[in-house]
Structure 1
């Protein structure tokens, strides 16, 4: 009896993470409760992979029926929809608060405001625009750069467009990076506010040991898809994430739910940009 109960708890932790990070209606009656946030946090990159697989599968018909410019725009809309724009909302609030306030208290106050300001609008436009252009430009990266198994991918590319292969791999890995970055930011920071909130629930139960353990999954994915270049890509993402955590700590003293969402979005963009740095691609 103990073993099934243990497996059920693991499944509940996964389903709660899936419910928290997506709009998938896995628990309409809100019966699933996480055993501990420290157990839930392990599932964040796995949920990211689930999102990535969904995006990759969804991109197939979009690629077949629409021109690349439109297909890439539509897949970004799908990505926003599957998460309920949760992280974009956090990005907008973070931009308004971090750059609109003159001290910690004012910045946190602005971030609680449900209205969006000029910094938030600018941040959303810049991030979505860069994401769209980066995703579209991924097709310019040579297919041999995408995996250590380049010969196999060349064979597959005889039947499937190499552009499609590139995009599907990128769409699969990108959400994993974002959810890993959230875990990293939560594990290396304290909660910035004095009260409780979504951010306190995540940051309060995440430790540095968990950050190290959770990092093994994206490391494997980067090695599998990008070989040695994957370690360079991941190193760039780590450097950015640590720099971002330091900057946010300096501005408000720690993380909030909004800054965790912003970390997710910006780290995904850094991943897309780092592909071009490591591929040696030139116009």
Structure 2
């Protein structure tokens, strides 16, 4: 009974990380896997929060011995190992596809290509560099709360994006594997599960969090319009890009030096 209740969470952990949960998941056929992944979307923010907590622990521990810049780089290394650079790969594919493709077919073809091009390399370098810079300049009191909040928030952004856009079956990845858009109940549940990970940041910097939520909603409106115009739907790489964008937007708002009257 307990294992059945935790099954969607275990699938979400297996899908988004390299944590060894496979022994706890029974063998599944294709239809069972698709159904399980559909239910696991609810837990994406929780998995993001777990990743953020592990990253925060690395930041705290490394910060006891080394300067902030070293601690941040060590955290990024651990996180890449923990997630298999899952979303970073999506960022590179997204930048390659939309940088080099002029038609929907060509964009999807480029995103499927495992090779990285100049747009992907540049986009990935800038995305990781910006995230590292933001974590380096954050005030000490905000560092771990912002790290945890952004990790959960970014995965919630993917859930919201999935509810706003139809999946493209022609392209592999999460959008195809799930096969259908999450409903309002899934989005509401994912939102509630995100809140505990946002609470520490909300207690310290509520204005920054509210501005971040507003900015990500504006980003998603543009994102939806752009994807519908260029692709007609969403792919797994697009969702991964949305995750990373959500993290960056929240970190940008948390680290901003707001003018005072």
Same fold (TM over 0.5): yes
Q: Distance in 2 between matches of 1:28 and 1:96?
A: 36
- TM-score normalized by the length of structure 1: 0.81
Aligned residue in 1 for 2:258: 280
Distance 2:199 2:65 in 1: 32
CA deviation after TM superposition for structure 1 residue 15, in Å: 0.9
Is 1:231 the counterpart of 2:210? The answer is yes
Following TM superposition, by how much is the alpha carbon of 1:88 offset from its aligned partner in structure 2, in angstroms? Answer: 0.7
| Conserved 8 A contact 1:17-1:44 | yes
Change in Cα spacing, 1:276 to 1:251, as seen in structure 2 (3 Å) is same
Structure 1 residue 38 displacement after superposition: 3.5
**Aligned pairs for 1:119-130 within 5 A:** 119-130=119-130
Q: CA deviation at 1:243?
A: 2.1
In the alignment, does 2:6 pair up with 1:11? yes
Report the counterpart of residue 70 of structure 1 in structure 2: 70
Deviates more, 1:215-224 or 1:111-120: 215-224
TM superposition shift of 1:235: 1.9
Equivalent pairs counted in the alignment come to 252
| Unpaired runs of at least 5, structure 2 | none
C-alpha displacement of 1:270? 0.8
Deviation digits for residues 127-167 of structure 1 (CA, Å, limit 9, x no counterpart): 0111111111112xxxxxxxxxxxxxxxxxxxxxxx1x421
- Give the TM-score, by structure 2 length: 0.87
| Gapped regions of structure 1 (runs ≥ 5) | 140-162
Give the structure 1 partner of residue 103 of structure 2.
103
Q: CA deviation at 1:224?
A: 4.7
What residue number does 1:56 align with?
A: 56
Kept in 2, the 8 Å contact 1:131–1:269? The answer is: yes
Query: Would you say 1:174 and 2:150 are equivalent positions?
Result: yes
In structure 2, the partner of 1:81 is: 81
1:28, distance to aligned residue in structure 2 (A): 5.1
